[in-house]
Amino acid sequence: MSRVVGFIDLDAYYCACEVKQKPSLLAGKPLAVCMYETWKKSPDRSADMDRIVKSGGAGLIAVSYEARAMGVKRQMSANEARKACPELITVMVPTKNGKADLSLYKENGEKVVEILQEFAGIVEKRSVDEVALDVTDAAQKLLETTPKELVARQAVNVSHFADSEISLKASKISHEAARRGHEGQHEYTKNDDDEKNHLLKYSSFDYLLLAGAVVINNARKAVRERLGFSCSAGIAANKMIAKVGCGLHKPNQQTIVFPRSVAVLLKDLPLNRLPGLGGDLGNRISSQLNITTAGGLANISRSILLNAGFQDADNLLAAANGTLDEPVKNRANYKSFGSSKTFYKHPITNLTIADQWLSNFAQEIFDRIKNDRNQRNRAPTNVTISITTDKSHVTRTEKVHIGWSDSPQPIVRSAHRLLRRWAGTRTAHLDIVVLGLGVSNFIDLPANKASVMDLLTRNPLHQSKKPSSSAEIMQPSKKKRTIAELLYQQATTSTKKTTTVGKKDSSFFPSSNIDPEVFAQLPPEIKAELLDDRTRLLRQSAPSLGNSHLEQRQVKKKKKTATTTIDSFFAPRRPR
């Protein structure tokens, strides 16, 4: 079944967020965003403070289109950029606890996703500024209520087409130039080539794409009007081509790629502009097979690819032909998040300092957990530290119970333990160049804010009405169950067997709402919390916890990934 996919990319996104913060000062100005002012320690500057920096040589991570027009490019150092454009305004990213604080951009990005969800049934958040939408259903509905000729006219008025002269010119520029922006991209101009399409006879699927383009245009308009962010988009029959199409015309424009235009679009497209081939794999393909374009790869036979050691030949060819069809994932929020910092030329040398940074990271992460938890009734169960030294990069992970806890301490303690697990007996000369902390493996929590008590009751007072998004990534564990998993099990399934109740434990809980087996495994502080809860409940003479029906949580089994594709189109399989 053919789908209609829209791929949306926010224009000069970090700059746009800064303009939104201070429109009177920044709107319409050549603007760039850099990470820090200097490598020296300086006071934190929050999002609402003045963050304009006049000196400092940090690399630019975002450049407004006004600045690009003056020759400023991403990755230039700020000093270099000021030479190219003396009136350039450079803004540094907010800082908090001595590190970059990207929450301004993350929070705005989440608002964008919320709006886009009104326009598409399936929404895949791909990064802070990129979203893929499956708008097949919305496009179909539009065609049911509006004459297709009218839909086509609307779409043509607001879209480019991939086979137009200017689109094809844009398709030929290099990966690097395309990423740095400007060259080959345009302010909004439509030439006659686009209009010719309007005279063509459209297939019924073409009409569906045109309808999708109208939907996407409406979505972009909503984002612009409600949040002030402009974005660009591609519309095509699959995610990969939609993304390529999205890159053809920026800013604030959209491009339709009809199936019949795919071949000509890919013919001269630099190979490394194909999603997933921008790195090592793409380089090896280029050099070993002596090709430079997607069209070139499409002309290589499957057997030659296999002989050259590229085991993923089928998917590579599908990508080169524009037929790779990775479905838009139904995931509008993060599966993990974290906090990290590079200690440029001043590595962390001892445990105490590392502990302090980990505590900072934990605090920041916990703030995000609280927001996420309130919105989605979920909490992470894994904590991972990540440590890079000159010689190595390692991660260490352990389980953590967070639930509705109101303290970052569990994360802090985990992080400190994990640090020691990595350091072993060494306490000095750690030479940590990059230190990071993250959380992942979210589980659903009972729908309302509640104490740990609810997680342990056989007949929970609160149950999620609908599975939250994290339900789709849950899987029943076949391995030894962790405490967190036991808790989850207790909270969400009815207990069929009667557990052997240890007399000592059961005496704590006359109503037998707590599984003593579970209770016994709990860390002391949680046991304490439970006992507190119990006395509170007894004082309030809690109503019977009742029983009757329990919702059986539906847990989708994680699909066994038998074969790797050139993936989700971003993580190609490594040939052996």
Partner DNA sequence: CATTTTGACGCT
Partner DNA sequence: AGCGTCAA
* Full 3-state SS string of 521-565: HCCHHHHHHHHHHHHHHHHCCCCCCCCCCCCCCCCCCCCCCCCCC
Nearer to DNA, 98 or 550 (CB): 98
Binding flag, residue 234, DNA (CB under 7 A): no
Binding flag, residue 372, DNA (CB under 7 A): no
Binding flag, residue 553, DNA (CB under 7 A): no
Burial 479-504 (b: 16+ CB within 10 A, else e): eeebbbbbbbbbbbeeeeeeeeeeee
Provide the token pair at 7: 């791929």
Distance CA 414, CA 437 (A): 10
Burial 389-426 (b: 16+ CB within 10 A, else e): eeeeeeebbeebbbbbbeebebbbbbbbebbbebbeee
CB of 455 to DNA, least distance (A): 19
CB of 507 to DNA, least distance (A): 33
Distance CA 423, CA 385 (A): 12
Exactly one of 51, 341, 373, 401 binds DNA (CB under 7 A); that residue is 341
**Residues in contact with 576: Cβ distance below 8 Å, sequence separation at least 6, in sequence order:** 309, 311
Cα dihedral 46/52/56/59 (nearest 10): 80
Binding flag, residue 129, DNA (CB under 7 A): yes
Cross-strand bridge partners of residue 90: 32
Binding flag, residue 127, DNA (CB under 7 A): yes
Binding flag, residue 289, DNA (CB under 7 A): no
CB of 439 to DNA, least distance (A): 9
Only one of the segments 186-194, 275-283, 519-527, 528-536 lies at the binding site for DNA (rule: CB under 7 A); that segment is 275-283
Size of the site for DNA (CB under 7 A): 69
Nearer to DNA, 197 or 469 (CB): 469
CB of 5 to DNA, least distance (A): 16
Binding flag, residue 57, DNA (CB under 7 A): yes
Exactly one of 6, 212, 403, 438 binds DNA (CB under 7 A); that residue is 438
Binding flag, residue 70, DNA (CB under 7 A): no
**How far from chain centre, in Å, is Cα 516?**
39
CB of 345 to DNA, least distance (A): 7
Helices (H), 120-232: 136-145, 148-158, 165-172, 175-180, 192-199, 204-227
Name residue 1's amino acid: M
Binding flag, residue 397, DNA (CB under 7 A): yes
Distance CA 500, CA 214 (A): 62
Binding flag, residue 251, DNA (CB under 7 A): no
Nearer to DNA, 35 or 222 (CB): 35
Binding flag, residue 38, DNA (CB under 7 A): yes
Exactly one of 52, 61, 289, 306 binds DNA (CB under 7 A); that residue is 61
Only one of the segments 94-102, 464-472, 514-522, 543-551 lies at the binding site for DNA (rule: CB under 7 A); that segment is 94-102
Binding flag, residue 564, DNA (CB under 7 A): yes
Binding flag, residue 324, DNA (CB under 7 A): no
Only one of the segments 64-72, 166-174, 287-295, 340-348 lies at the binding site for DNA (rule: CB under 7 A); that segment is 340-348
Nearer to DNA, 7 or 207 (CB): 7
- Return the closest-CA partner of residue 514 out of 468, 451, 466: 451
Name the DSSP letter for residue 132. E
On whether the CB atoms of residues 36 and 346 are closer than 8 A, the answer is no
Binding flag, residue 576, DNA (CB under 7 A): yes
Only one of the segments 201-209, 248-256, 438-446, 541-549 lies at the binding site for DNA (rule: CB under 7 A); that segment is 438-446
CB of 546 to DNA, least distance (A): 35
Q: Could you check whether the bond before residue 523 is cis, i.e. omega within 30 degrees of 0? A: no
Exactly one of 21, 77, 463, 512 binds DNA (CB under 7 A); that residue is 77
Name residue 179's amino acid: R
Residue with tokens 């150092």: 77
Q: Which residues in this chain contact DNA in the complex, by CB under 7 A?
A: 9, 35-40, 56-59, 61, 75, 77, 79, 99-100, 102, 106, 127-130, 179, 275-282, 329, 331, 334-342, 344, 382, 384, 392-399, 434, 436, 438, 440-441, 561, 564, 567-568, 570-574, 576
